[in-house]
């Protein structure tokens, strides 16, 4: 059929038959063949006359995504008296700082995964407002469920890959963060087991992933311990298309020495570590939760 006009207001398409045929295969000429309700029409190449100089412009409209920026902070202190002690283990404020940053980053990662977005949440105890960053659990609604009592086979894993990679304009390579329970079940599939044993790995942002190649795309798989620390998530996984995730910094990681001794508050050396940032999950169909039930 040749499409001549589209009326968006009336949801109407004007078409002319080109090669319509009846059930016996006889050409119908200019007669329009029956088009059943809910039939799909695929648009192919447009056609123009030799004197045409214009065509209808492509219509696209961006859509907004939002999140709120959250301030993450840690503080370390070392007593001035303890600082003078002769220690069997040379533990000092720099060691405290390292542990504090690891803990702060773990908390920030949990917020990125499971946070609820809230602008100006009022803390009734401290009597102040804070912004809360929303996480993947809030924004990403696309999911694929499986039954935990059943083994994950090659057929099931391929069906997951088809669901993850097709029907969206995402990347051919995506990250899969897995709980221990899900990873154990995935290893029952020969397709996964053989590639894991072959030690096909790749390092992304300093993290080593196992590469699983499917006919639909590549999954870079990494066991994520946090999924086991959150109740009910050990059998779950999260697929992320990093091309469609943006991290916005308001204040990059910074440290500041606090003069608590000089101001008469505490006889300590003190240091504050601060980060202020937010996450944006774009093109949400490119991300997916794997959920065991």
Closest C-alpha to 76, from 276, 269, 252, 274: 269
- SS3 label, residue 243: helix
* Confidence category of residue 109, pLDDT binned at 50, 70, 90: very high
* Confidence category of residue 240, pLDDT binned at 50, 70, 90: very high
| Cβ-based neighbours of 18, under 8 Å, separated by 6 or more | 1, 2
In this model, does residue 149 exceed pLDDT 80? yes
Contact (CB, 8 A) for 279 and 67:
yes
* Confidence category of residue 252, pLDDT binned at 50, 70, 90: very high
Bridge-based pairing state of the strands 288-292 and 143-146:
parallel
In this model, does residue 21 exceed pLDDT 80? no
Closest C-alpha to 246, from 277, 292, 289: 277
The tokens for 199 are: 């030690």
Closest C-alpha to 199, from 212, 190, 187: 212
In this model, does residue 210 exceed pLDDT 80? yes
Angle at 211 between CA 209 and CA 212, to 5 degrees: 135
Residue in the block written with tokens 């961006």 = 62
The whole-model pTM stands at: 0.80
In this model, does residue 58 exceed pLDDT 90? no
Domain spans in the chain, listed from the N-terminal domain onward = 70-135+251-269, 140-246+282-292
Q: d(Cα 183, Cα 19) in Å, to the nearest integer? A: 53
First to last CA, the chain: 47
43 alpha-carbon distance from chain centroid? 31
Least confident span in 31-45, 86-100, 197-211: 31-45
In the prediction, which pLDDT does 143 show?
96
């Amino acid at each position: 059929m040749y499409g001549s006009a589209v009326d968006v207001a009336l949801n109407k398409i004007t078409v002319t038959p080109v090669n319509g045929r009846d059930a016996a295969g006889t050409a119908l000429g200019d007669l329009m063949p029956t088009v059943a309700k809910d039939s799909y029409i695929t648009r192919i190449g447009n056609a123009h006359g030799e004197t045409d100089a214009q065509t209808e412009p492509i219509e696209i409209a961006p859509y907004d995504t939002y999140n709120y920026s959250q301030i993450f902070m840690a503080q370390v202190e070392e007593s001035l008296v303890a600082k003078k002690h002769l220690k069997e283990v040379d533990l000092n404020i720099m060691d405290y700082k390292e542990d504090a940053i690891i803990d702060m980053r773990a908390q920030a990662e949990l917020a990125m995964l499971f946070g609820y977005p809230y602008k100006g949440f009022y803390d009734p105890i401290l009597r102040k407002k804070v912004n809360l960053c929303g996480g993947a659990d809030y924004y990403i609604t696309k999911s694929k469920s499986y039954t935990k009592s059943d083994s994950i086979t090659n057929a099931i894993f391929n069906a997951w890959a088809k669901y993850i990679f097709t029907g969206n304009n995402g990347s051919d390579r995506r990250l899969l963060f897995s709980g221990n329970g899900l990873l154990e079940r995935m290893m029952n599939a020969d397709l996964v087991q053989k590639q894991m044993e072959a030690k096909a790995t790749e390092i992304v942002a300093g993290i080593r992933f196992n590469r699983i190649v499917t006919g639909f795309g590549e999954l870079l798989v990494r066991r994520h311990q946090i999924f086991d620390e959150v109740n009910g998530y050990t059998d779950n996984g999260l697929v992320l298309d990093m091309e469609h995730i943006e991290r916005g910094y308001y204040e990059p990681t910074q440290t500041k020495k606090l003069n608590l001794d000089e101001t008469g508050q505490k006889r300590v050396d003190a240091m504050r570590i601060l980060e202020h940032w937010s996450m944006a999950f774009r093109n949400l169909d490119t991300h997916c939760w794997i959920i065991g039930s």
